[in-house]
Amino acid sequence: AEKWFGIVSIFPEMFGPFTQQGVIGRAVKSGVLSVDIFNPRDFTHDRHRTVDDRPYGGGPGMLMMVKPLTDAISAARAAGGENSKVIYLSPQGKKLDQTGVKRLAESDRTILLCGRYEGIDERVIEDQVDEEVSIGDYVLSGGELPAMVLMDAVARLVPGVLGHQASAIEDSFSDGLLDCPHYTRPELLDGKAVPSVLLSGDHEKIRQWRLMQSLGRTWQRRPELLNHLALTEEQQQLLEV
Ligand code: SAM
């Protein structure tokens, strides 16, 4: 496959619908994308298949038990090859944005560690993890949803994953701007008409209108995005009028 993800998670079932439906489901079926799951529970040897352990120093909550976790990481490395990059999903990581997604899309073998409980032993992070990634400043119960968020965003940039590759280019953030508004049938909805330019058939006019909308929206909703953006001459002119 073009892009391989090795997931280390004690809840492999959570990835079922994600890898079977929609854009990602299609990518997996067509072989562009492949996802293998390594469950620390399969690397336990006790009757209860224990995957949690108590934290030194006491306090509430448990941590992921080290040995099943590191054995699962080793199995993922063996499958992905020595060059695979290991990412730990963590609220303490670098916050993910579309620029980060583009960078992550450059490596084609990525291992995603999904934490549970209060997280994982700091030494495992130091020794095994190349990068920590957060999906936002809030705390979830596990790294599975963040791993799916990361994979979904990365997969959209892999050639062949989207039906229309242009969609990814037009999406919000890909050119640093928010996307323009979209309309589908009917032409008149509860008295509200589709902007007439979209019915004009004039592709150049439509392109300009969309660009203007994108700029306007970004300026209204997310002005800070414009600060770090090198606007094209056309974009600059549109903003000045
Ligand atoms: N005690 C940890 C802390 O404050 O940094 C949080 C542990 S959290 C309850 C359990 C797991 O969920 C983490 O190990 C991590 O894998 C995942 N997680 C929670 N919030 C996340 C976020 N915003 N981004 C990425 N992963 C997150």
* Structure token pair of residue 234: 């056309």
Handedness of CA 217, 230, 202, 240 (dihedral sign): positive
Question: What is the CATH number that goes with domain 172-240?
Answer: 1.10.1270.20
pLDDT of residue 230: 86
Mean pLDDT, residues 147-163 taken together = 96
What's the Cα-to-Cα distance from 162 to each of 22, 26, 153, 173, 218, rounded to whole Å? 10, 9, 11, 17, 25
> Is 241's pLDDT higher than 80?
no
Nearest CA to ligand 1 atom 24: 134
Nearest CA to ligand 1 atom 22: 91
> What is the distance in A from the centroid of ligand 1 to the CA of 133?
10
Domain ranges of the chain: 3-155, 172-240
List, for residues 65-85, the tens digit of each pLDDT value: 999 999 999 999 999 998 899
Strands 3-8 and 33-38: parallel
E strand residue ranges, 66-163: 85-95, 109-114, 131-134
Count of residues for the chain?
241
Q: Which residues are catalytic?
A: 91, 118, 156, 171
Ligand 1 pocket member 61 (CB < 6 A) = no
pLDDT of residue 228: 83
> Are both 3-155 and 172-240 of the same fold?
no
Of 38, 44, 47, 46, the C-alpha closest to 10 is: 38
> What is the distance in A from the centroid of ligand 1 to the CA of 135?
10
Question: What is the CATH number that goes with domain 3-155?
Answer: 3.40.1280.10
pTM: 0.95
